[in-house]
């Protein structure tokens, strides 16, 4: 979170404030594959699985695999824990790594290759993997392929070296020209930086809200613009064109807070891959957790009345994302219509996307 100072709110700063939720006027006072099975068409029996890293260097690994009697948890080439069809284990004593990967190996069927979703960086708080989710038909979204993030301008030299080791090749910058000029991206050596400006000078947002209710309404309308606005469609078409090009992986797309423009990009990606809406929503709402400290600091710097107005702009809420999906239905008839008419993806592109990013 940048230290906030008194500033005039220009139209571009406005967009940064309520669409990405990171800047507000101050108060006058691997290239590894998650879900990688032993063969991409081998059925994966896990219905739930997650790795969570703790500050003390330990990892919690949880899973559900109905009908499976034994699951081995492997890391760094050795078995570190085991359990039955349902398990929750804590693994300690592993050596430090850029990203600790675990293989969940069932007695039969495909294994899962998972890591903690968050990529720990010194200069970003919401850089996380888009993968590690199960689709409605039992496939899993690979990890280590697509990442979503907040601003990259404060990445340290160590951060950049880590992202290079994680094979980040392409960075899609969803921010406005003003945001990019004020806080230029830092990208790992060898990575391609691509501008995909969702707002691109759009006059859609012209005034800051004066009440919390106006703030909520602004976020709802902003989400609709990300679905049907001309500049938004162009930007997301650019991003999805890159995602469907497997040679550009690993891909990062980001805005300033990594929650609104980035949030819709990831919601659209997961939906295209067949991830259930409830899971898509949970991923979207997770920005509230990852950004909790930064958002709390921003609100604490304001008088209570002003903080009440700004809180809806810093949050992600179910009604925001739902308004985007409502806009998809109203403007395009179905998500398939949105894929074709807005994102430029035909049925073959979607099949290729699933072939590249799903296993099991």
CA angle 70, 71, 76 (to 5 degrees): 145
Question: What percentage of residues in the chain have a pLDDT greater than 90?
Answer: 84
Spatial separation of the C-alpha atoms in residues 291 and 288, rounded to whole Å: 5
Pick the catalytic residue from 255, 268, 294, 314. Answer: 255
C-beta neighbour count of 148 within 10 angstroms: 24
Q: At what angle do helices 277-290 and 318-332 cross, to 10 degrees?
A: 140
Among the four given CATH numbers 3.90.190.10, 3.40.50.620, 1.10.3720.10, 3.50.50.60, the one describing domain 11-40+119-359: 3.90.190.10
Low-confidence winner among 19-28, 114-123, 223-232 (lowest mean pLDDT)? 19-28
Determine the average pLDDT of the residues in 38-59. 87
pLDDT band of 39, cuts 50, 70, 90: very low
Centre a 10 Å sphere on the Cβ of residue 162 and count the other Cβ atoms it contains: 20
Interatomic CA distance for residues 34 and 49, integer angstroms: 11
Q: Is 255 a catalytic residue?
A: yes
Give the pLDDT score at 208: 86
Average pLDDT over residues 157-162: 98
Q: Where are the beta strands (DSSP E) in the chain?
A: 48-53, 59-64, 71-75, 78-83, 86-91, 101-106, 112-115, 128-129, 140-141, 146-149, 170-173, 192-195, 251-254, 358-359
Identify the helix (H) or strand (E) that includes residue 270.
helix 261-273
| DSSP summary character for residue 60 | E
> Rounded mean pLDDT of 72-95?
98
What local confidence, expressed as pLDDT, does residue 204 receive? 62
Determine contact, residues 274/350, Cβ cutoff 8 Å.
no
Three-state DSSP class for 324?
Answer: helix
């Amino acid at each position: 979170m940048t230290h906030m100072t008194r500033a005039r709110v220009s139209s571009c700063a406005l967009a940064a404030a309520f669409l990405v939720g990171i800047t507000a006027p101050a108060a006058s006072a691997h290239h590894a594959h998650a879900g990688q099975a032993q063969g991409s068409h081998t059925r994966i029996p896990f219905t739930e699985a997650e790795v969570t890293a703790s500050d003390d260097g330990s990892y919690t690994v949880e899973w559900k695999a109905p009908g499976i009697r034994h699951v081995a948890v492997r890391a760094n080439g050795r078995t570190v824990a085991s359990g039955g069809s349902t398990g929750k284990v804590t693994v300690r004593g592993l050596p430090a790594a850029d990203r600790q990967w675990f293989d969940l190996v069932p007695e039969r069927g495909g294994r899962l290759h998972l890591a903690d979703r968050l990529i720990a960086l010194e200069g970003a708080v919401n850089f996380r993997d888009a993968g590690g989710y199960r689709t409605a038909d039992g496939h899993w979204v690979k990890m280590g392929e697509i990442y979503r993030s907040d601003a990259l301008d404060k990445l340290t030299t160590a951060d950049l070296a880590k992202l290079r080791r994680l094979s980040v090749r392409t960075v899609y910058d969803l921010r406005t020209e003003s945001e990019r000029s004020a806080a230029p991206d830092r990208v790992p050596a060898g990575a391609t930086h691509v501008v995909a400006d969702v707002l691109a000078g759009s006059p859609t947002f012209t005034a800051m809200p004066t009440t919390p209710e106006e703030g909520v309404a602004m976020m709802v309308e902003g989400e609709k613009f990300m679905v049907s606005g001309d500049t938004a469609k162009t930007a997301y078409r650019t991003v999805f064109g890159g995602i469907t090009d497997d040679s550009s992986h690993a891909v990062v797309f980001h805005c300033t807070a990594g929650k609104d423009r980035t949030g819709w990009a990831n919601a659209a990606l997961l939906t295209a891959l067949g991830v259930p809406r409830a899971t898509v929503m949970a991923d979207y709402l997770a920005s509230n957790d990852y950004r909790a400290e930064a958002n709390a600091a921003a609100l604490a710097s304001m008088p209570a009345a002003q903080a009440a107005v700004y809180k809806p702009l810093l949050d992600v809420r179910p009604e925001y994302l739902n308004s985007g999906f409502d806009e998809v239905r109203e403007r395009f008839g179905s998500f398939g219509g949105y894929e074709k008419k807005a994102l430029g993806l035909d049925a073959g592109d979607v099949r290729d996307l699933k072939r590249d990013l799903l296993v099991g």
